[in-house]
Every structure is written in structure tokens, then in C-alpha cells.
Amino acid sequence: MAKVKVLLEVAGQDVPGGFESFQESADSAFAVHPTMTSSMDRVAGMGVELDEPFLSIPMFSDPAPGSGIGLTSLDAFSAFAASSTNPDLPATSVVIAAEVDPARLDDLRARDGVTVWANSALTLFQNDDVLDLARSRAGLDCRPFRQAVSLEVVRTMLGVRRAWDDGFRGQNIAVAIVDEGVNGIQYPVVDGFARPGAQQPGAAPITSHGSMCAADILVAAPSARLYDYPFLGIANSGGALAMFQAILDHRRIDGTPHLTSNSYGFAGVPPIASFPEHEVHDINHPFTRKVREVVASGAVCLFAAGNCGQNCPSGNCQPSGIGPGRSIHAANSIQEVITVAAVNTRHERIGYSSQGPGMFHPEKPDLAAYSHFFGNFGPDRPGGETDSPFDNGTSAATPVAAGVAAMLLSANPSMTPDQLRDAMLAGLHNVSGTDWDPGYGRGIVNAAASYSALKR
């Protein structure tokens, strides 16, 4: 029987310098770091094998059964908002990626000081079956989708010109793109996570999903700086966990990046009996905790709602994860992040956009942003039309919202994540007539109105 990919969290180890241990394991390419050797000693004789890439991820926040996260341990990260380097911190546990025989899972779960978590494949939220043909039915954009629009139409709908005229175009703001990689020739990639033997920041092709996200951030924030965190080439929760640890480490050193844009997640809900420690079911999963650590450090995290809406879900959606209450889950649904749904420029919900309530926090999505436009993809655009006729999915909507956030942050760099969220929510265009809507959230992002609210 094939082995199961898992994340093993080993507690009770002596890791006084958590960030240093992560950097050392990253710099050692595919060599085994001493903290991983120590972790593997704890599970010796249980048929566990290390899974590549060999990285040791320190955890600084403990799970607190029944209450989510031990929030007191997150207070130390608030100092990371400064541009000066902060001291290292001791880790409470270490997470490593491994493979295990399914028959040994229960024995492994019973091992003292060891927690078994899912290491599950992630889906990039670009719609995989877009057709740009005729009109959709009124009020909803479904197959065949309405025609895509130009970048200028999206900028007009967002109302970016007033902030731009005042000199705020996202300058001095660094936005992290956690994805499959960004093309640094076409887009302003200035930093990210570089590791020997792995894909380097800015090295992805122009047709990559991450390059689309880069183009879409620049819609509202053309002067923003981009940081590239390319999953270590592995689109699973362990790869995303490593990228968020790299982001946290970067913030510890110089207070950047200021925002993260995340256009990936899960396309189904696995049965809880098959893996109760899956990210969809357990809010204490290391990746969710690591996202919270990054938010606690002062960086706003925007996540895509997903492409499994009831009306016309993406073709890779599983029936278990389609529609209201089932399609926004895992870290994408926690209260601390900004969860983004997709609309077109006619303010119609795009039918594949996932619908709330979220599985962890009910009022998800938080807001909606524009998708279906010629950004990276389309006629005369950098990515052409080889993979997609236009930028689409909640994958495109999320970096559009991240670009608005970067523009607002350039106007007021001292804002905390909560203050930036409030500024974005203050300017939303409410099309549902309710305080919160399962498809639109609290409304559609409007840069002009949010900027006006910020300047009052």
C-alpha cells in the first residue's frame, strides 16, 4: 500500500533559535538538518521516511485544544513590524514532512510528543474551463461567461486615480506572492525565498499562475514591490507552510513583506473519519497557525475564497466541497485573513466563486473583487492566450484586492492588519443590501471609497 504524506510535529525539542534552525535547514539544500535527525529519532521503528524537500519548520504557537490557538504566544511577533532586525525566538515544536505506512498511523498518533497532520495537495484557484463566449443570465456570470474587459476598465471600476494623483501607487510596499512562482523579467520581483537546488524568485515562466497574480496586484498598485515565494516547487500544505515560515523570517529581519496574496486552497472536503487532522477540519493545523503568526507580525494575508461555487464550479471541484458552507475552508476561512470572492465588472457574482459561510469563521468571504480581465493573459498581454484567454478565478480577484490594500498602505504605512481591513471594508460597494452575503461578503472592493475613508 502506498505511503501517506504527512506533517509530523515533534514537541519537546531543544530549539532555542527557531529561525536560525530554519535558515540552516534551507541553506543545506537536500541534506538532513540535525533538528530533523532528532525528530526522526522520536519516531524510530515506525516506518517513517523523510519526504523531500528536507526542511525543518519551527512552530512558535502551541495548539490549544478547545480554544484554537494559544494567542498569548503570538504577542512576541508584533515587534516584527519594525524595519530593524528582531532577535531569534525559541520554537515550541518542529514540523517535518514525512511519509508513513497507513497501517502505522494510529501507532504514530499515540507516540508521546508527536502530532500527525495532513500534508495535502493544494489547488491553484484559476478556473480550468473558461470559455469567453456569449452573455450569461442576468445577475450571475456562468458558462458561457461574459466577455473579459481591459485593465483600464478594472482600474476605472476600482477608482484608483484619486489615490494615484495624490502620489500613492503602492510604492515602498512589498507584496508576497505565495504561488508556483513569478516571472521576474516582466514583473518587479525584488526578493522572496531562495534555496539551493530549488526554484529561485523570479524564475517562473510568464505563463505561470504566479505571474498572473503579479500582474493583478499591479492593477491598483503599479509601484508595489513583489516578493516571490514559490512553494518550493511543491503545491501542498507543507510547501505553503515553509513559505509562510520564510515570510515570517523575512519580517523578523526587516519588517517586509507587508502583505501576502494567496490564490490556492482545497477543492473538496475529505471525510473527517479518514483524516481528522486535515487542514479543513482542524484549525490547529501548523499551516493555519503559521498564517496566524504572520498576521500577528503585522502582515495582512489575503486568501482566495475558491472556485467551487454552487452555480458553475470549476471542473476540479469535488462534490463534497461545492456550494454554501462547504467551499470555503482551511486557512482561507479563518477570521484573521481577508477572504476574497470574485465578481465581474458588471458586479455580477461569477458563478464558480465559492460561497460562505466559511467552515471555520462563518462570515467568509469578507469581500469581492474583480476577475475576468486581460491582465497577464489575453491579446497583447505578457502571458498571451496559451493557457488562459484572460485572468480569471478567485485567483485573479485576490491579488486585485491585495493591490488595493498595497495602495492604501502606501498612503498610511503605519496601519495594522486590523486597521487596513477596516479601511477596505469602509469603502465596499454593497450590492446585496445585507450586512453580509454568502457570495459577495460585505461588498465589492472600491479603492476610491476606501481611500476617501482613510483620508478623513
pTM confidence score: 0.94
* pLDDT tens per residue, range 24-59: 888 876 667 777 778 878 888 888 888 877 788 999
Identify the pLDDT of residue 76: 85
* Statement to judge: residues 88 and 183 lie in one domain: no
Spatial separation of the C-alpha atoms in residues 401 and 213, rounded to whole Å:
11
Q: Can you read off the three cell numbers belonging to residue 403?
A: 493591490
**Does position 67 have pLDDT exceeding 60, yes or no?**
no
**Does position 239 have pLDDT exceeding 70, yes or no?**
yes
Q: Can you read off the three cell numbers belonging to residue 54?
A: 528536507
Spatial separation of the C-alpha atoms in residues 119 and 135, rounded to whole Å:
41
* Statement to judge: residues 362 and 345 lie in one domain: yes
**Does position 65 have pLDDT exceeding 60, yes or no?**
no
* pLDDT tens per residue, range 407-436: 999 999 999 999 999 999 999 999 989 999
Spatial separation of the C-alpha atoms in residues 50 and 163, rounded to whole Å:
50
* pLDDT tens per residue, range 257-280: 999 999 999 999 999 988 888 999
Q: Do 92 and 59 form a contact (C-beta atoms < 8 A)? A: yes
Q: How confident is the model at residue 129 (pLDDT cuts 50, 70, 90)?
A: low
* Statement to judge: residues 114 and 133 lie in one domain: no
Domain that holds residue 416: 123-455
**Least confident interval from 13-22, 65-74, 108-117, 410-419:** 65-74
* Statement to judge: residues 112 and 130 lie in one domain: no
* Statement to judge: residues 444 and 313 lie in one domain: yes
Identify the pLDDT of residue 13: 62
Indicate the number of domains in the chain.
Answer: 2
* pLDDT tens per residue, range 145-191: 999 999 999 999 999 999 999 999 999 999 999 999 999 999 999 99
* Statement to judge: residues 217 and 250 lie in one domain: yes
Q: Looking at 118, 138, 168, which one is the last position of a domain?
A: 118
Which CATH number covers residue 33?
3.30.70
Q: Looking at 118, 143, 165, which one is the last position of a domain?
A: 118
* Statement to judge: residues 144 and 82 lie in one domain: no
Identify the pLDDT of residue 29: 62
